[in-house]
Amino acid sequence: MPEPQPASSRRTPPLPDEDALVGRAVAGDRGAFARLVEHYQAACYGLAWRLLNDADQAADATQDAFVHAFDAIGGYRGGIFRSWILRITANASYDILRRAQRRPTTTLPDPTEGQPELADLNAPNPASEAARGEMFRHLDAALRRLPEDQRVAVVLCDVYGMDYHQVASLTASALGTVKSRIHRGRLRLRELLADHRELFGG
Amino acid sequence: MHDPNRHPDDERLSALAGGDDEVLDDRPLRDHVAECARCSAVVDELLALRTALSQLPAIMPPRPLRLLPPAPEPRPERSAAGTWARRLFAPALAVGMVLAIGGGIGTFVDRGIPMLTSAGAGAVAAPESQDLSKGGEPQPAAAPSDNGTTFDGLGNGQAEPPERAGERQSATDRPAPWLPILGAGVALIVLALILRFADQPRAG
């Protein structure tokens, strides 16, 4: 499978006509729904890839999430569409993680497989973009080395901005457990990135 | 008074970097971090780490993803007669099969009885010669023959009373109901198949 590519070095901004598209999608317009998920597919895939550590499983989870979202869009009650679709993606990814835990395999993931190429050499300032790309590459590599429970908690909270309660609900864990996983995950990341502190400006 | 050489747990420093309410209200912790180079460096690094994590880019999937589930097939238009025929198909087929099977079994049994009775005489006569030649005891058996004579298994026939013979005769003369039932069943099955054919959706 070819390596996933970064959509951009910035977060996906909302579409200019997003509210209207969401309204049409809720009313059953398949084209409007397709436009929305196409816009957010890189964000969703990135979340799944970071949670699952596997490019193929991430694609499957994203696909599942789109199907679930299509089924659920009729009951969408407003809010930020990006958060809604990311929450569905996180659920789909976490379902795959749970299934994998029940059915452990002996093959270890290739730590380089599916790693995104983050440097954007066409950017206005190639040097600074390359440095950012380098930082993100180290960050993603360090995330992949976290224990799964800590990785899931840190990705959901610090990368995708969910609060403790949302993470606890999604992972069916106690609030204190989630906080502890996030704090231990952050501290472990800090250790893993100790040799690249200059990239983070810390 | 806090001890500047006694550092708080690093998880509390992470909570401070994460802006948790419970540690933001912890004045001694904040005072310590403000004065302790080691702890303030940890908090700064964790803040920088959180900022970098929040900026991690989206990733394009390596293969095109299907954005929508497959569109449901448009239901073919059915005529009112077709709907009516579709509703009748299963019951008509079921009733037809019951009648056909019942009628078939009934016909077979009805026609089989005279065959059994006529075979009964021969079946008794044959063992008589075989068993006696072997010196064995013949099995007692009694079966009415077609002419109303009952055999006792030893070759001694007894004439059946005329009234019983008359009853048997009138029973075989009565027209059996099974054949019409069988026919009705087959007709219903054929009708059900015609209804099924009529239920085919219209083209376009």
- In angstroms, the CA B104 to CA B102 distance is 5
- In angstroms, the CA A97 to CA A87 distance is 15
Higher pLDDT, B119 or A166: A166
Higher pLDDT, B17 or B150: B17
Beta-carbon count within 10 A of B21 CB: 8
H runs (alpha helix) in B57-177 = 80-134, 162-173
Site of tokens 């590519």: A5
Is the CB of A182 less than 8 angstroms away from the CB of B68? no
Q: What pLDDT, in 10s, does the model give residues B170-180?
A: 555 666 778 88
| pTM of the shown model | 0.61
Which chain B residue has the Cα nearest residue A35?
Answer: B67
pLDDT at B29 over 70: yes
Q: Is A78 left (phi over 0), alpha (psi -120 to 50) or beta?
A: left
What is the predicted ipTM? Answer: 0.82
Nearest to B65 by CA among A56, A23, A81: A56
Which whole-number Å values give the CA distances from B153 to A187, B48, B100, in the listed order?
Answer: 104, 111, 40
3-state secondary structure of B94: helix
Structural contact between residues A164 and A142, judged by C-beta atoms closer than 8 angstroms? no
E strand intervals along A99-158: none
3-state secondary structure of B60: strand
Residues of A in contact with B15 (CB under 8 A): 179, 183
Helix axes B10-17, B37-54, angle to 10 degrees: 50
Average model confidence (pLDDT) for chain A? Answer: 84
Per-residue buried b or exposed e for A43-78, using 16+ beta carbons within 10 Å of the residue's own CB: bbbbbbbbbbbbbebbbbbbbbbbbbbbeebeeeee
Mutate to test the interface with B, among A88, A143, A186, A190 (most CBs of B within 10 A): A186
Helix axes B10-17, B27-35, angle to 10 degrees: 100
Q: What pLDDT, in 10s, does the model give residues A3-60?
A: 455 554 456 788 888 999 999 999 999 999 999 999 999 999 999 999 999 999 999 9
Q: Does B50 touch chain A (CB under 8 A)?
A: yes
- In angstroms, the CA B190 to CA B196 distance is 10
Is the CB of B59 less than 8 angstroms away from the CB of A4? yes
Amino acid residing at B45: E
pLDDT at A69 over 80: yes
Higher pLDDT, B137 or B44: B44
- In angstroms, the CA B24 to CA B47 distance is 14
Q: Does A123 touch chain B (CB under 8 A)?
A: no
| Contacts with B173 (C-beta within 8 Å, 6 or more apart), sequence order | none
CB-closest option in A6, A34, A193 to B68: A34
Q: How far is A184 from chain B (nearest CA, A)?
A: 7
Q: Does B65 touch chain A (CB under 8 A)?
A: yes
Mutate to test the interface with A, among B40, B47, B67 (most CBs of A within 10 A): B67
